[in-house]
Amino acid sequence: MGLTTLLLIAVFLILLLINVPIAIAIGLATLAALLASIDALPAVTTIAQRLSAGIDSFALLAIPFFILSGYLMGQGGIARRLIDFALAIVGRLPGGLALVNIIACALFGAISGSAVAATSAIGGFMIPAMNKEGYPKAFNTAVTVTASTTGMLIPPSNILIVYSLASGGVSIAALFIAGYLPGILVALLLMAAALFYVKRMGIKPRASVVLVSLSQGFFGAIPSLLLIFLVIGGIILGWFTPTEAGAIAVLYSLLLSVGIYREIRIKDLPELLRKSVNTTAIVMLLIGASAAMSWLLSYATIPQQISAALLSVTDNETVILLIINLLLLVIGTFMDMTPAVLIFTPILLPVAETLGMSPLHFGIMMILNLSIGLCTPPVGSVLFVGCSIGKTSIADMLKPMLPLYIAMLVALALVTLVPAISEWLPTLLGLI
């Protein structure tokens, strides 16, 4: 391993340890490593060029649209109607509110594409409701946090767009469709784990929650659910690109939130726009800085070296996949999803392709791995948002989180070893 690589890793880890924002840490580490081999002016110029080139993509225009639509959905009454729909489906079952929480998070994630937004919007309703019914506070928060990650797989998902860019152009439409079955699988296994925990711990809900009829819940949620079919159906049928779908999602969310549900007033829009601009700026800086680091790693032939090292350890495909999964799980615990995807896709995808894994299958496996990191300390953003909303601590959540973590790991093993879970729907629809 050369001086450039050692310097890159050392500076990056030191900056992370002293809590420098990750986008800044990535950029400074890349610059420091480049300064070891070339003069200051060309180094700074190269970083600027690579940062700019990293965000110079038409597909990335979808991200600010989906971010804005997520904010509109979070405050526009859509979350509450999805909760009513889930309540009508499973509210009468034992441990019903836990199941409602998981289904509502999955549905909201399928509309907003944001785990943090799902945790805030659904958790803001469901955690107090579950507390009132007698479910343990830490369990309620753990359920919300883990279920919210399904939005990373179920489209529209910003991180799948980022992976398409990092992988060299895997179809966004195919990735969107490929995420459905894995996302549903995670949700079902989380439901099973939640029911197991409720029964094992002898939790007896008070059952005083007001249930709604199936017809009432369904018809109330139809306008919100229609967004799923509008966005994804339009992409599959070729009516519009993912970027255009993002713009349509904004217009439709605006119509629902302001015109039909009337839970957002016109005077609230500037603040929502400000929040979405701030979030978009952070995401784009992450993408640009990560693209620069990815270029430097490629320039230093790190992907080829790591690929050769992994393949020299063993020729057993299952063992290599296990190593890749463990590496991604560790990465997910201390790095945000966006830079992790941009930096490690060029490194690990060639190894996966050598094993015969398609870029589509690898992408879904990678996103599921990193989604687990969202609810894992020390950096798990969704975990900390959930703790804030649920007014509980990470230490208190460890016990109820354990069966939920196991459920997610089982889903990861199935997605890794059974390619059809990711590839069947895109193949059926002729997308691959």
What's the structural domain count of the chain?
Answer: 2
Which string of DSSP letters, residue by residue, matches 172-212?
HHHHHHHTHHHHHHHHHHHHHHHHHHHHHTT------SPP-
Q: Residue 72: what pLDDT?
A: 85
Residues 35 and 155 in one domain: no
Residue 389: per-residue pLDDT: 87
**Residue 296 lies inside a defined structural domain of this protein:** no
Q: Name residues of the chain where pLDDT drops below 70.
A: 1, 91, 205-217
294 is a domain residue: no
d(C-alpha 176, C-alpha 190), whole Å: 21
> Does residue 293 sit in helix, strand or coil?
helix
Residues 36 and 105 in one domain: no
pLDDT of residue 357: 92
- Range of the structural domain that residue 43 is part of: 1-54
Looking at the domain assignment, is residue 182 inside a domain? Answer: yes
Judgement on whether residues 50 and 68 belong to the same structural domain of the protein: no
Residues 315, 191 within the same domain: yes
Task: Give the Cα separation of 335 and 254 in Å (integer).
Answer: 33
Residue 112 inside a domain? The answer is yes
Residue 83 belongs to a domain: yes
Same domain, 197 and 218: yes
Q: Quick check: is 295 in a domain? A: no
- pLDDT computed for residue 1 by the predictor: 52
d(CA 374, CA 336): 8
418 and 362 in a common domain: yes
> Which residues are CB-contacts of 38 (< 8 A; sequence separation ≥ 6)?
46
**Judgement on whether residues 187 and 325 belong to the same structural domain of the protein:** yes
Q: Where are the alpha helices (DSSP H) in 18-57?
A: 22-35, 40-54
Residues 161 and 271 in one domain: yes
Instruction: Point out the domain boundary residue: 23, 38, 54.
Output: 54
Q: How far apart are CA 298 and CA 229, in angstroms?
A: 39
Q: Tell me which of 13, 39, 54 is where a domain ends.
A: 54
What is the distance between the alpha carbons of residues 62 and 158, in angstroms, rounded to a whole number? 8
Domain end among 39, 54, 69? 54
Half-sphere exposure of 42 (CA within 13 A, CB side): 5
In the DSSP assignment, the letter for residue 335 is: S
Residues 36, 159 within the same domain = no
Task: Quickly count helices (H) and strands (E) in the chain.
Answer: 21, 0
pLDDT computed for residue 209 by the predictor: 53
The reply to whether 325 falls in a domain is yes
What pLDDT is attached to residue 299? 81
**What pLDDT score was predicted for residue 67?**
85
Does residue 127 lie in a domain region? Answer: yes
63 shares a domain with 19:
no
Amino acid 213: pLDDT: 62
Burial track 238-249 (b if 16+ CB lie within 10 A, e otherwise): eeebbbbbbbbb
Please tell me whether residues 143 and 189 are part of one structural domain: yes
Nearest to 357 by CA among 367, 346, 347, 365: 365
List of residues 6+ apart from 321 with CB closer than 8 A: 352, 355, 357, 416, 417
4 and 89 in a common domain = no
